[in-house]
Amino acid sequence: MQIHFERTGGFMGRKISLSLNLNEIPAEQAATLRTLIEEANFLTIEDPPPDAESARDQFIYMVAIETDKIHHIIHTTDTSMPATLRPLIENLSSLAHSGRR
């Protein structure tokens, strides 16, 4: 399973991104991500454009998950994301941050 993550927008407008192959990262980290994906019911989340009618400077998140059989992509924002998705977004944001130095 591969995960692609991007965060754009925000006050600074800076993009951070991350691509992971769960078969190539430490087993514990991969297990955590699999759990968060499952708990988010990720594959059932639809991908409407983020509702940014009047919100400004919010982060815009993109998460894509790929396997041999599945390719599912979603976009969301801080104020529009389902609560069940937030732990996965926070985990991916943290991983993207930790790889910056």
Partner 1 sequence: MHSHHSIFCITPPHMLQEVSRNGTSAQREMAQRTLTASEVFRARRVSLGGGVKASPLASSLASAVSGGKQRTIYDAKQGSNLPGSMVRGEGDPASSDPAVNEAYDGCGTTYDLYLNAFGRDSIDNHGLPLNSTVHFQKGYDNAFWDGEQMVYGDGDEDLPVSERLFNRFTKSLDVIGHELTHGVTQYEANLKYSNQPGALNESMSDVFGSLVKQYQRMHTAAEADWIIGEGLFTSNVNGVGIRSMKAPGSAYNDPVLGKDPQPAHMNNYVNTVEDNGGVHINSGIPNHAFYVIAIELGGFAWEKAGLIWYKTLTEKLKADSSFMDAANLTFQAATELYGSGSLEEQAVQKGWAEVGITLSGPPATNTGCFNSVMRAIGLG
Q: Are 25 and 31 in contact (CB under 8 A)?
A: no
* One residue of 59, 65, 92, 96 binding partner 1 per CB under 8 A: 59
Phi, psi of 5 (to 5 degrees): -130, 135
Closer residue to partner 1 (CB): 14 or 34 = 14
* One residue of 43, 57, 67, 71 binding partner 1 per CB under 8 A: 57
Taken in order 13, 43, 45, 27, the sign of the CA dihedral is: negative
Chain residues binding partner 1 by CB under 8 A are 8-15, 52-60, 78-79, 83, 86, 90, 93-94, 97, 100-101
